[in-house]
Structure 1
Amino acid sequence: MNKRTGFILFLVVATELIGFGLIIPVLPQLALKFETSSFMIGLLMASYSIAQFFSAPLLGYFSDKIGRKPVLLLSKFGTVLSYMLLAVSQSYTLFLMARLLDGFTGGNISVVRAYVADVTTEKDRPKGMAIIGISFGFGFIIGPAIGGLIYQNNLDHSLAALIAGGASLLAFIFTLLFLEEPKKHKEIKKKSSLIKGLMSLKNPSIQVVFAVYFIYMVVFSGFETSFAIFTSNLFLFTTKQNSWLFMYAGILALFIQGGITRFTPKNLQRTSYIGIAILAFSFLGLAITFRVWMLLGFIFFLSIGVAIMNTYLPSLLSSYIDKDKQGLVMGLYEGVGSLCRIIGPIMAFTIILEFPRHTYFLYAVLLIFGALLLSVGLKGKKTK
């Protein structure tokens, strides 16, 4: 994969996360202005993930059928429209429509993963997949940083939406002008079949990877949405201190993700197993931590585990998928992630207010179970 392609794919994903970081922190406060119920606020927060759960597999399938580039363009254009709608929204209904539109057209991460699979060998694929992780880290740093400046100066949400839309428009233009359809995919897209793609889920190895990803994402999405409550309850952190903590985690993720691209593991299963084991260790540590320096240390290990999982687990999955089914299966993979972003926060908020430490013990147990699934459910997958 050449540098130009890598940069454009980075831009596609990073602008998605910058927009996320700009808008999500203030959605609950914006919804409260409309004097709506707690359920409706929760629906607004979950609307993006609900829409993406249904759309990501379809976008993945269509990327198999008609090409990666057209679907990426459609996805980014939908994101631009959603932010323009959000910028002018003055009612709950318009806010909800904007979030649903972004969710329905926002399944581009699965298409980016399929694109990477098209243009890399199995040996080099983890380096390509790492671009997505680096984009996440960059987006989670820049988005909240810009958002903090906007909201600190009491500026309207419309400015944040316009900045997010402008960033996505830039990614759309770069994709339109400079991204080429993968040559390998041009040769195979006519073979793509929805039924055959779904039948590939009968592969036991793919089922195991999906199960492990489900466990990982339930834990991670619950953690990222409730971590501020954990630190506020146990360390009395303020909102500002929590913001600095999230920035610390984002910077760590960015550098660690960039660092692991230098390594090409011989066994993707074993590497993923190490990643999930590090995560289990990190949550056990967080459950018993009582000093800020310990908290920072375990977040460091947590960032390593997340970087490994975000890079090598999709690479492992890709190695089990036929070339003409990459988009659909990666879309289903992303759909599972969207479902977990609904389940994870609900599970976390159900128990963390009363039992903050017990929540992280539970996460560690779930991850240990995931590690066992990886170790006994798969044959070692070596890079070719």
Structure 2
Amino acid sequence: MSSSPNRSSAFVFIFITLTINAMGIGLMMPVLPNLLTELTSLPVGEAARWGGALSVIFALMQFLCGPTLGNLSDRFGRRPVLLISMLTVAADYLLIALSWNLAVLFIARMISGIAGATHSAASAYIADISDKKDRAKNFGLLGAAFGVGFVLGPVIGGLLGEFGSRAPFYAGAALSFLNFVFGYFILPETLKPENRRSFDWKRANPFGALKHVSANKDVQVLLLALLLFDIAHYVYPSVWSYFTTEVFAWTPSDIGLSLAVVGFGYAFVQGYLIRVLDHRIGTGAILMIGLTCNLIAFAALAFIRDGWLAYAFIGFAIMGALATPAFTGLMSNLVADDAQGELQGLIASAAGLSMIISPFVMTQSFSYFTSSSTVYFPGAPFVISAVLIILAAMIALPFLKKQAKATAENSPKSQKTPAE
């Protein structure tokens, strides 16, 4: 492979890969109830319990395997990890389409969680081909891919679901295989031989990776803040459908429209807006804007009772998407080139852990405060999220102040000439 990578083609492949990964959950949503009832012969209400278990096993695999794939990419390079993962995703979609019992479906979702942890290698790839000053805005492209996949997944799943509960997965397998072929021919390796390191199982798990990376206290602080942010942010997939049905009496089409707005908004904010803001105000300021917008959105959604108002504050939630690439960019600049995969794997693990914790906390609090025996307050999950955002900001703020001070001291304007 060429030592001077074709960045445009590489970005396209990474974007498509992460879009397909993001489509995975949405692709399943329209057809999963029918697929589960086919495999279990249970009514939809009872089959839904297995749907929850599938979500947990997927998130658990991402939590456990994110650092493994990240460390493998630090050892063998980004290209082989990304290509093998993409081929595995294609085979996994095919396995779901052909699943003949519930056990096979669970195995397939475990594989999905492992292969889906490709986010760590993809993020490390972006770090490799980006200058430090550009990392935050380029990480925004990853969020934009998520936004696009978040919109396309349910649409494609719903349309193809008309041809049967397994049709969307055959399409997912075909898309993933075509993307593998595309990547095989155009994706260059970006990890230089001198930046590779030996693979160590002690570092290739979330606990070992945390122990090693968090030796850097600044990374430790930002990682904790990111974990709190992720738990708060996953309130949307956890309770949005239930909350909007309960409070605004929205129909499924209303809910779908709101999610489409969010998906397009994320793509715009993380794919374009962050690139405009990064050079003008800096990554630290972008992070605080993102956290502040999330706080406003959560605080408002907890108390509003009119559906049209929700759209006004969805705008703040969309702007809050600035926080994710800002967190990632700041941490990426704090670790060595041979540990980028490990760091991104740890970030993926934090997201996986959040996907386990948040649905439980948010759905249980929603259920508790909407039952007849308690104080009626369906906005309780958003209050919890607002508190978590405040804690995340309080944890990150000292680091941001220290960074801003160091930047000011090292800026040309602060350097006096001998004549002065």
Structure 1 residue runs without a partner (length 5+) = none
Alignment partner, residue 315 of structure 1: 329
**Equivalent residue runs for 1:214-225 within 5 Å:** 214-225=227-238
Which residue of the other structure, out of 158, 170, 173, is the alignment partner of 1:162?
A: 170
1:292 CA displacement: 2.4
Q: Distance in 1 between matches of 2:135 and 2:9?
A: 17
**Equivalent residue runs for 1:171-320 within 5 Å:** 171-182=179-190, 184-190=191-197, 198-257=211-270, 258-265=272-279, 267-306=282-321, 308-320=322-334
Structure 2 residue runs without a partner (length 5+) = 1-5, 204-208, 371-376, 412-420
Q: Distance in 1 between matches of 2:387 and 2:364?
A: 17
Contact in 1 for aligned 2:277/2:286 (Cα 8 Å): no
Q: Distance in 2 between matches of 1:363 and 1:58?
A: 30
Could you list the per-position Cα deviations for residues 232-290 of structure 1 after superposition, in whole angstroms to 9, with x for gaps in the alignment?
A: 00110111111111111111222222222223245423321221121011111111222
Alignment partner, residue 333 of structure 1: 347
Contact in 2 for aligned 1:28/1:45 (Cα 8 Å): no
Which residue of the other structure, out of 75, 78, 83, is the alignment partner of 1:65?
A: 75
Q: Distance in 1 between matches of 2:166 and 2:298?
A: 38
1:376 has 2:398 as partner = yes
1:101 has 2:114 as partner = no
Are residues 91 and 195 of structure 1, via their aligned partners in 2, closer, same or farther at CA, if it must alter by over 3 Å?
A: closer
Q: Distance in 2 between matches of 1:86 and 1:57?
A: 25
Larger Cα-atom Rg: 2
Alignment partner, residue 81 of structure 1: 91
Q: What value does the CA root-mean-square deviation take over the aligned residues?
A: 2.1
**Equivalent residue runs for 1:138-149 within 5 Å:** 138-149=148-159
* Aligned length, in residue pairs: 380
1:195 CA displacement: 5.6
Could you list the per-position Cα deviations for residues 121-158 of structure 1 after superposition, in whole angstroms to 9, with x for gaps in the alignment?
A: 1111122211101101111111111122233x3x2121
Alignment partner, residue 133 of structure 1: 143
Q: Which amino acid aligns with 1:159?
A: A
Q: Distance in 1 between matches of 2:230 and 2:19?
A: 19
Q: Distance in 2 between matches of 1:58 and 1:244?
A: 37
Could you list the per-position Cα deviations for residues 41-70 of structure 1 after superposition, in whole angstroms to 9, with x for gaps in the alignment?
A: 422221111111111100000100010000
Q: Distance in 1 between matches of 2:244 and 2:324?
A: 25
Deviates more, 1:287-296 or 1:18-27: 18-27
Alignment partner, residue 12 of structure 1: 17
Alignment partner, residue 101 of structure 2: 91
Q: Distance in 2 between matches of 1:374 and 1:77?
A: 38
Deviates more, 1:247-256 or 1:330-339: 247-256
Are residues 351 and 171 of structure 1, via their aligned partners in 2, closer, same or farther at CA, if it must alter by over 3 Å?
A: same
